[in-house]
A = this chain, B = another copy of it.
């Protein structure tokens, strides 16, 4: 996300961000989700991250598919344009939006059904293209909106409320994303607001597809004993990669980061991600290590959270297309319509 280059206001008043906006400016309509739904927790953290980062709301495009999760863009950033499309096809819409206006900051919210079931094909190709956007999967292992059927991320052996067991293996969207060349892959948990906000801000500093898989329990259909996507199970099986904090490009890096306990990753927009290693020691810029770690955790039925993989060197799709700097959407007629002489030349060729 190439962000504004505005400077921070000299002495920012309290309760406003560097743009002078309040948290309320980043809120949306009231949620109609079930009380306690993980998705609402994510919505709150999106609001917080965008507020703290100081994103200009009018530059944001909120995109989604269909599902409880896909409804949430209506619940944050009401000053941004939003587009709630059809089931599983948000990636195509997002691609079109970014082609039309590269100056936008796209944030997509999808569900596990929306992404990993019906949407798998488009998800794969979005990653392959590396379309710049934040892509959040609010992952609850079920189809919430259609009342609790298993999705393709439901874990092998997870029990439905009805007692039926899922006997197909889960699709791991993070592994998939890394394999497909995605250069920002993170995972978090709706019950961990702090980590989520740091990762969301990091995603804002990144340019390319930032995949953010968030375990987001469905309190109505998948929060019971036997479920592997419940609050309790997630808490019990979380495997934290690192403590993560975020230093935005407009803040001075003050702490010394040669300290062996932390490592720093510089993002595309000049912001920094600071990782305080847990006992494991983990290098999120190493693709092989990322994949191995994911695989190992999978085998142990643990779920890994943190910044799993990052690579700030890979060009995004719009860069590959070598497009002009201004948004295509609003180029004036003079620029996009060749001249009369051009047509004459073409016609002459065809005579």
Query: Chain A interface (Cβ within 8 Å of chain B)?
Result: 117-122, 124-125, 128-129, 152, 167-169, 171-172, 175-176, 179-181, 287-288, 291-292, 295, 320
Shortest distance from the beta carbon of A30 to any chain B beta carbon, whole Å:
34
* CB-based closest 7 A-B pairs: A121-B121, A120-B121, A169-B181, A120-B124, A167-B320, A175-B179, A128-B168
Q: Assess the B176–A179 pair: CB atoms within 8 A.
A: yes
Name the B residues within 8 Å of A320 (CB-CB): 167-168
Which residue of chain B has its CB nearest to the CB of A295?
B288
Copies in the complex: 2
In the complex, the answer to whether A128 meets B292 with C-beta atoms within 8 Å is no
Query: Which residue of the partner chain B has the closest CB to A294?
Result: B179
A287 to B168, CA, bound (A): 18
Inside 8 A of A122's CB, which chain B residues have their CB?
Answer: 121
Residues in B whose Cβ lies below 8 Å from that of A292: 288
A317 to chain B: closest residue by CB: B168
Residues of B close to A125: CB separation below 8 A: 117, 120, 152
A115 to chain B, nearest CB (A): 11
- Asked whether B128 lies within 8 Å of A169 as measured between CB atoms, the reply is yes
Q: 7 other contacts beyond A179-B179, A288-B295, with CB at 8 A cut-off? A: A119-B121, A120-B120, A121-B122, A124-B171, A169-B180, A169-B181, A175-B179
A117 vs B122: C-alpha distance when bound (angstroms): 9
- Picked from B118, B169, B291, the residue with its CB within 8 Å of the CB of A121 is B118
CA distance A303 to B287 in the complex (A): 20
* Most B C-beta atoms less than 10 A away, residue of A117, A128, A288, A295: A128
14 contacts between A and B (CB under 8 A): A118-B121, A119-B121, A120-B125, A124-B124, A124-B171, A128-B171, A129-B168, A167-B320, A168-B320, A175-B179, A176-B179, A179-B179, A288-B292, A291-B291
Alpha-carbon gap, A320 to B164, bound state (A): 13
Q: Kindly list chain B residues whose C-beta atoms are within 8 Å of the C-beta of A124.
A: 120-121, 124, 171
Q: How far apart sit A152 and B122, CA to CA, in the bound complex (Å)?
A: 12
Q: In the complex, what distance in Å separates the CA atom of A134 from the CA atom of B229?
A: 34
Bound-state CA distance A5–B157 (Å) is 34
Q: Which residues of B contact A171 (CB under 8 A)?
A: 124, 128, 180
Tell me how far the C-beta of A323 lies from the nearest C-beta in chain B, rounded to whole angstroms.
13
How far in angstroms is the closest Cβ of chain B from A194?
31
Q: How far is the CA of A172 from the CA of B181 in the complex (A)?
A: 11
Give the docked Cα–Cα distance between A122 and B120 (Å).
8
A295 to B119, CA, bound (A): 26
CA distance A104 to B181 in the complex (A): 38
Chain B residues closer than 8 Å to A181, beta-carbon distance:
169
Report the Cα distance A165→B176, complex, angstroms.
25
Nearest B residue to A319, CB-CB: B167
Chain B's closest residue to A167 (CB) is B320
Chain B residues closer than 8 Å to A118, beta-carbon distance: 121
Q: How far is the CB of A327 from chain B (nearest CB, A)?
A: 22
Tell me the bound Cα distance from A167 to B118 in angstroms. Answer: 27
- Per the bound structure, the CA–CA distance linking A119 and B120 in Å amounts to 10
Nearest residue (CB) in B for A320 is B167
- The docked-state distance in angstroms from the alpha carbon of A120 to that of B122 is 8
Q: Given the complex of chains A and B, what is the CA–CA distance between A169 and B152 in angstroms? A: 25
Give, as a whole number of angstroms, the nearest-CB distance from A151 to chain B: 11
